[in-house]
A and B are shown apart, each in its own frame.
Chain A
C-alpha cells in the first residue's frame, strides 16, 4: 500500500504526535518515512519599512534556525527508529512551508503526506491551519490529516 510517507514537522508537540501515528502506519505497510522541516529564509524583524537585521545577524539567525530544524528532525528520526522504520531527513529553506512540503513529496516520490490539522501557529479548534490547507490544495498526493 503506502511505501513512502512524508511527515512535515514544525517542531510542535502536535507534529510529533502525528509522526508517531505515521511511524505506526509505515511499520504496518513496510514503508519508509521522509521527515521534512522548512525553515524561513527571510528571518527579518521588520518595523514599518526598516529591517533591523544586518548580514551578520542574518547569518546567525539562519544558522540558529537550521540547528533548530535539525533538532526537530532528530526527534522524528528517534520516533522512526522506535518503530524500526527507515527514515530520511530533508531540511530546506523556504518562505512558504507548504511549497517545501509539496515539492519534497514530489521529489522523494512520496505516496502519502501525514500532517496535523494545524501547526504551531494554528488556532486549534477554530480553523484549519493555513499550511495544511495549502498543502491540501496544491498536492496530488493523498493527505492524512490529524487533529
Chain B
C-alpha cells in the first residue's frame, strides 16, 4: 500500500496528534516516514512589493521559525524512533508552503501526504486551511487530512 508517508506538521495540536497517528500508520504498513515543516521565507503583511516588516525583524522571525520548526520535527523523529519506523525530516524555508509540501512529496517519492485540516486558532477550525486546500487541489497523490 503506502511505503513512503509524508507528514507535514505545523506543530499545532491537530498536527501533533496526526504525527502519532501517522507513525502508527507507517508501522502498520511497514512504511517509512518523511517529516516536513515549512516556514515562510517572508513574514507579515506586504503592500504591493513593499514589506511592512524590516529586514532585521524578518531575520529574527525566521530564526524563531527555524527553532520552532526543529522542535516540531523532533516530535516526528522521537515518535518514529519509539515505534521503530525509519524516518527522515526536512526543515524548509519557502513562501509557498503548499508547493513545498507537494514538491517534497514528489522528490522523496512519497505515496501519501498527511496534514492537518487547519492551522492554529479558534477561527481556523471553522474552515479548511488555505494551505491544506491548495495541497488537496494540486496533489496527484492522496492526502489524508486530520482534524
- Chain A residues with CB under 8 Å of chain B are 1, 21, 24-25, 28-29, 117, 126-128, 132-133, 136-137, 139-147
Q: Which residues of B contact A (CB under 8 A)?
A: 1, 21, 24-25, 28-29, 112, 117, 126-128, 133, 136-137, 139-140, 142-147
How many residue pairs between the two chains, A and B, have CB atoms under 8 Å in the bound complex? 54
Q: Which residue, of B25, B127, B137, B142, has the highest number of chain A Cβ atoms within 10 A?
A: B142
A147→B140 contact, CB < 8 A: yes
* Chain B binding surface SS class: mixed
State which of B28, B127, B139, B146 has its C-beta within 8 Å of the C-beta of A142: B146
Pair B142/A144 contact, Cβ less than 8 Å: yes
5 A-B pairs with least C-beta separation: A1-B28, A144-B144, A146-B142, A143-B145, A145-B143
Query: Do A128 and B137 have beta carbons less than 8 Å apart?
Result: yes
Query: In the complex, which residues of chain A have a beta carbon less than 8 angstroms from the beta carbon of B28?
Result: 1, 28-29
- Among the listed B117, B137, B146, which residue makes an inter-chain contact with A137, where contact means beta carbons less than 8 Å apart? B117
Name the one of A25, A133, A142 contacting B128, with C-beta atoms under 8 angstroms: A133
Question: Are the CB atoms of B117 and A127 closer together than 8 Å?
Answer: no
Question: 19 other contacts beyond A28-B28, A141-B147, A147-B142, with CB at 8 A cut-off?
Answer: A1-B28, A25-B1, A28-B1, A28-B29, A117-B137, A133-B128, A136-B128, A136-B147, A142-B21, A142-B144, A142-B147, A143-B144, A143-B145, A144-B112, A144-B143, A144-B144, A144-B145, A145-B142, A147-B140
Can you give 11 contacting A-B residue pairs, CB < 8 Å?
Answer: A28-B1, A117-B136, A127-B137, A128-B137, A133-B128, A140-B147, A141-B147, A142-B144, A144-B142, A144-B144, A147-B139
